[in-house]
Structure 1
Amino acid sequence: MTESAQEPEGAQDGGPRNARPAGADGMRAPVRETYGPMDLGSVPVFAGGFINFGYWRDIDLDRPLSVPDRVRSQQDMYRHVLDAAGPLAGRRLLEVGCGLGVGCTLAVEEYRPAHVTAMDIHPSQLERARRANARLLDASPGRMRFVRGAAEGMPFGDAEFDCVYSVEAAQHFDDLTAFAREAARVLRPGGRVVVASFFTVDESAGRAGQLAGMLETFADGLDIARPASGLTGAFTGAGLTGAEVRSIGPAVWRGWDRWLSDQWKPGTWPRNFLRAYEQGILDYYVITATRSE
């Protein structure tokens, strides 16, 4: 990673920052390469098949952290998102960017929805997800399915779902406006969308360059630097109501960095997520909106 990154094309006019063109399969190269050959969910920094930074509010960070602590932090991120969606018993849910699908299994087992559809753009992830969730798929074939699709073009009919949720995937979405439009389309009246991910704290054009200089995933285009207001605005523009953005950074960044500290030395790039938060550049948000009745 270079010490000084140039401002990516499009950053000045409000376009996606650090975005790269998608290939014929609909994926940008960094997404295809990161989630293809290797099972990222098997990397020790992630644990239990989850791929998120974790929600650490109820975990004691002043003692040595264990793998069960790490798994719980990621489960608690899903619980926090699903709780924000409201009562889910008997409802039809869609997860956008499901990865290995272990969060969908948590939703099925703890929230008693009628059905969960797990969607991901990467076919390798879906193959792994079907293997990882074979027990549930065999035991309850009508409760969960895996479908390939993009956030910007979902392969579903209108008003199919009561809830659309996404956990730490929106930083990869090519087009937040298209995602918001699709979420509004597939939601039933009264349905709710909940997104948890990391965004820049404001619309400053310089944020993309700052993050590219600090964090490898922004420098190589895997993550796209955009403000949280970009998604709330997209939801409102798509006709959704009550769009709200809430920081959960205090429950994310310190725990994530504390977990990293056993594997990554200070000054290495993954430790810069906490630094970017402390410098007021990046934060972690839960963003919600509702389709009107």
Structure 2
Amino acid sequence: MTADDATGARPEGAIPSAVRTVYGPDDLGSVPVFRGGFINFGYWDGISLDGPLTVEDRVRSERQLYRRVLDALAPAGEGRGRALEVGCGLGLGCALALEEYAYDSVTGMDIHPDQLARARRANAALLGAAPGRLRLVRGAAERMPFEDGEFDRVYSVEAAQHFRDVDAFARECARVLRPGGRAAVASFFVPGDETRPDAARELALRLDSFASGLDVARPLGALTGALAAAGLADVRAVSLGPSVWPGLDRYLEGLDLGVTWPRRFLRSYLDGLLDYYLVTASAP
């Protein structure tokens, strides 16, 4: 099942309630923190944090995070076959992958129908100008509506913190990748291989996104172990924390948020409760 707006992967009622609200009526992509529409914390290398940060700086950081992930799959400007983005949000990362990385086609998949509707509006020109190169499909990370071996590359940018079953996600990545394909996942996790109830409790006290159930306090090893158990090879994780948390906090400092809890991400990183990682793997 590969048609646009595919719904067989997971019914809307199965969307976790916090995810349904935040990406539905709350429209997270419209808040000032996520100016630019990419809905990620940003990769701030090369952006000076010494003075006030501009909206242009913020958008640049968001685009740079996508480039950091896509660079881990293949260099820019080289044809790379068919790519899948899991948790595509507004689809702007899919457009970047097409425009800068010369994929033959990119499929953006998201579980939330409201996000897909926004993505279609945001990418109307590209959808019209290049039919077939960009698809926007509804589906869940744990049960993807695609054929075995359908994609050369699978990537996900700041969505895995919402996944309820990373073992199923890893199996699906392995299934939809062709032999020799590659996967890359960027998100934030609790450092280490073991579940840490202390970290989960403390993150829920500090950060509303964990308290509400929007984000899951999962150890990094849960994802890396799941990818390896699913049969993927050369599983590697690198911390992006120094290039994410200080820049994000510096940008938040200049906003009138109305709440204080987002400023606690940096403190949680410095206290060893949370970090931001890029995880890569290959299909044998």
TM exceeds 0.5?
A: yes
97, 105, 122: which one aligns with 1:115: 105
Q: Is the 8 A contact 1:26 1:150 kept in 2?
A: no
% identity of equivalent residues: 61
Distance 1:259 1:248 in 2: 17
Distance 1:147 1:28 in 2: 19
Matched, 1:103 2:96: no
Q: Is the 8 A contact 1:264 1:271 kept in 2?
A: no
Which amino acid in the other structure matches residue 146 of structure 1?
Answer: L
Deviation of 1:90 (Å): 3.7
Deviation of 1:271 (Å): 0.3
4+ residue stretches of structure 1 with deviation over 6 A?
none
178, 184, 198: which one aligns with 2:174: 184
Distance 2:11 2:230 in 1: 26
Deviation of 1:267 (Å): 8.7
Which amino acid in the other structure matches residue 96 of structure 1?
Answer: V
Q: Is the 8 A contact 1:23 1:29 kept in 2?
A: no
Distance 1:265 1:102 in 2: 24
SS at match of 1:198: strand
Superposed, 1:15-94 pairs within 5 Å as: 25-87=13-75, 89-94=79-84
Which amino acid in the other structure matches residue 168 of structure 2?
Answer: A
Superposed, 1:212-227 pairs within 5 Å as: 212-227=204-219
Partner of 1:165: 155
Deviates more, 1:82-91 or 1:253-262: 82-91
Distance 2:126 2:191 in 1: 39
Does the C-alpha gap of structure 1 residues 267 and 201 become closer, same or farther in structure 2, counting only changes over 3 Å?
farther
Q: Is the 8 A contact 2:174 2:283 kept in 1?
A: yes
Q: 1 or 2, which has the higher helix percentage?
A: 2
Deviation of 1:37 (Å): 1.0
Distance 2:142 2:170 in 1: 8
Superposed, 1:130-279 pairs within 5 Å as: 130-202=120-192, 203=194, 204-264=196-256, 268-279=260-271
Does the C-alpha gap of structure 1 residues 145 and 66 become closer, same or farther in structure 2, counting only changes over 3 Å?
same
Deviation of 1:229 (Å): 0.9
Does the C-alpha gap of structure 1 residues 250 and 266 become closer, same or farther in structure 2, counting only changes over 3 Å?
farther
Which amino acid in the other structure matches residue 40 of structure 1?
Answer: L
Structure 2 residues without counterparts, runs of 5 or longer: 1-9
Deviation of 1:43 (Å): 1.1
Distance 1:181 1:99 in 2: 22
Deviates more, 1:196-205 or 1:241-250: 196-205
Q: Is the 8 A contact 1:180 1:231 kept in 2?
A: yes
TM-superposition CA deviations, 1:207-228 (whole Å, max 9, x none): 1101001100000100000011
Q: Is the 8 A contact 1:264 1:270 kept in 2?
A: no
Does the C-alpha gap of structure 1 residues 218 and 23 become closer, same or farther in structure 2, counting only changes over 3 Å?
farther
Which amino acid in the other structure matches residue 207 of structure 2?
Answer: L
Number of equivalences:
271
Deviation of 1:160 (Å): 0.3
SS at match of 1:164: strand
Distance 2:244 2:11 in 1: 33
SS at match of 1:252: helix
Matched, 1:288 2:280: yes
Deviation of 1:25 (Å): 2.6
Deviation of 1:24 (Å): 5.8
Which amino acid in the other structure matches residue 31 of structure 2?
Answer: V
Q: Is the 8 A contact 2:74 2:80 kept in 1?
A: no
Distance 1:35 1:281 in 2: 25
Does the C-alpha gap of structure 1 residues 283 and 167 become closer, same or farther in structure 2, counting only changes over 3 Å?
same
Q: Is the 8 A contact 1:119 1:149 kept in 2?
A: yes
TM-score (norm: length of structure 2):
0.93
